[in-house]
Amino acid sequence: MTFDLDSAAPVFIGHEIYRHSSYGHMHPLRIPRVSTVMDLSRALGWLGPANFRTAPRAKPEALTHWHSADYLQALQIAERDGAVSDRTRERHQIGTHTNPVFPEIWRRPATTAGGSLLAGELVSQGRYVYHPAGGTHHAFPDRAGGFCYLNDPVLAMLSLRRNGLRRLAYIDIDAHHPDGVEHGFGNDPDCLMISVHEARRWPFTGQITDRGVGNVYNLPLPRGLNDSEMALVRDDLMLPLVQAWQPDAIILQCGADAVEEDPLSRLSLSNNAHWAILAQLMSLAPRLLVLGGGGYNPWSVGRLWTGIWGVLNRQDIPDRLPAEAEGVLRALTFPGNSRGRNPPDHWFTTLRDAPRHGPVREEVRGAVQALQARKMAWA
């Protein structure tokens, strides 16, 4: 084992609640995700007691900085009753197909939110923090959205502010636009917001023309986005923007649904794209919080997010996984999805995907240039 006992080592925030919690057997979030990352990271010798913190469940009062008391109460009642009234469904968007009532409908999001509040404290002390259960970027103050009940990225950012950090950079590389986070910080002149997401996909927000108060950079990208195109976005837009912004802290929402094998989007990245973005941001950030997000193929999300923890810890990604780690991946199933029927061997034996390079399309180049031109105005 290679536990790093250095007090400045990155911190992993997790919890066992995610291991068996499911949104229901037909829901995209029926698969384990965070527990896979914990198991793989431990099997690789990358995670031990010294750098693991259990997420504390947030008390409702700690969440009223952003969420309405009525909504928080509705979530707790839904967990107690296992059902919601029509009025609650309509008003708070819980008990729907997308945001179902499930056994941990309050405890699970409250644990994720508590992890993000803790992350804000730890990051403000100068730590790099990884909270893969976080990144629930579609929740609004008074309602759920897109599988998200509480908006833990917003809560993390408010926690950073309470802990004395003013200038923030929020970067979201999930396949979906972070409508809830933009609702929270889209008009905040001290928060740079960059989102790259698939064009013309739910929630259909995040237009390239959105500016907020000059702080919002939305880059909708076409289907089939490849690693070469993402590298252009990273090097010509994302990194220069962050560098010029000089944030006190960077928050990276690292949704794993923009990879080729994900069933919910049509982008075609390999996990190398995510890891390279993180590696570059590490050189720009005195303080860094990495959150999870989407990701609906149990193998691709487990491999991608474990690699994120490896990159944060400057570990070499092994070409072939040790037997114990391979066993973690072989034990996963993907019921109800054709991708689970005959998984390719490299989903069991490796973390790193083969790169998915390709031509850089003119529409990608043009969109990057359009946003670059805006940056010139303030940089």
Binding-site ranges for Zn ion (CB under 5 A): 174-176, 255, 257, 294
Q: 152 vs 257, which CB is nearer to Zn ion?
A: 257
Q: In what order do the strands lie in the sheet with 168-172?
A: 52-54, 11-14, 128-131, 288-291, 249-253, 168-172, 191-198, 216-221
The closest residue (CB) to Zn ion is 294
Q: 174 vs 260, which CB is nearer to Zn ion?
A: 174
Look at residue 28 and give its three-state secondary structure.
helix
Computed on alpha carbons and rounded to an integer, the radius of gyration of the chain in Å comes to 19
Q: 184 vs 247, which CB is nearer to Zn ion?
A: 184
Q: How do strand 168-172 and strand 128-131 relate by DSSP bridges?
A: unpaired
Q: CA–CA distance from 1 to each of 47, 48, 54, 127 (Å)? A: 9, 8, 20, 22
The span from the CA of 233 to the CA of 288, in Å, is: 20
* Residue 3 CB, nearest approach to Zn ion (Å): 33
Q: Which of 171, 182, 20, 160 is nearest to 103 (CA)?
A: 20
The span from the CA of 187 to the CA of 211, in Å, is: 9
| Residue 75 CA from chain centroid, whole number | 22
* Residue 303 CB, nearest approach to Zn ion (Å): 17
Q: 186 vs 255, which CB is nearer to Zn ion?
A: 255
Cβ–Cβ < 8 Å for 242, 284: yes
Q: Which of 81, 94, 102, 79 is nearest to 30 (CA)?
A: 102
Helices (H), ranges, 313-377: 323-330, 346-349, 362-376
* Residue 255 CB, nearest approach to Zn ion (Å): 5
* Residue 9 CB, nearest approach to Zn ion (Å): 29
Q: 257 vs 260, which CB is nearer to Zn ion?
A: 257
* Residue 27 CB, nearest approach to Zn ion (Å): 14
Cβ–Cβ < 8 Å for 105, 23: no
* Residue 363 CB, nearest approach to Zn ion (Å): 21
Q: For residue 241, what are its two tokens?
A: 């923007």
Q: 248 vs 262, which CB is nearer to Zn ion?
A: 262
Q: 201 vs 352, which CB is nearer to Zn ion?
A: 201
Cβ–Cβ < 8 Å for 222, 362: no
Q: 231 vs 267, which CB is nearer to Zn ion?
A: 267
* Residue 134 CB, nearest approach to Zn ion (Å): 13
* Residue 154 CB, nearest approach to Zn ion (Å): 16
Q: For residue 243, what are its two tokens?
A: 């560098």
* Residue 320 CB, nearest approach to Zn ion (Å): 30
Q: For residue 368, what are its two tokens?
A: 């990057």
Q: 44 vs 291, which CB is nearer to Zn ion?
A: 291
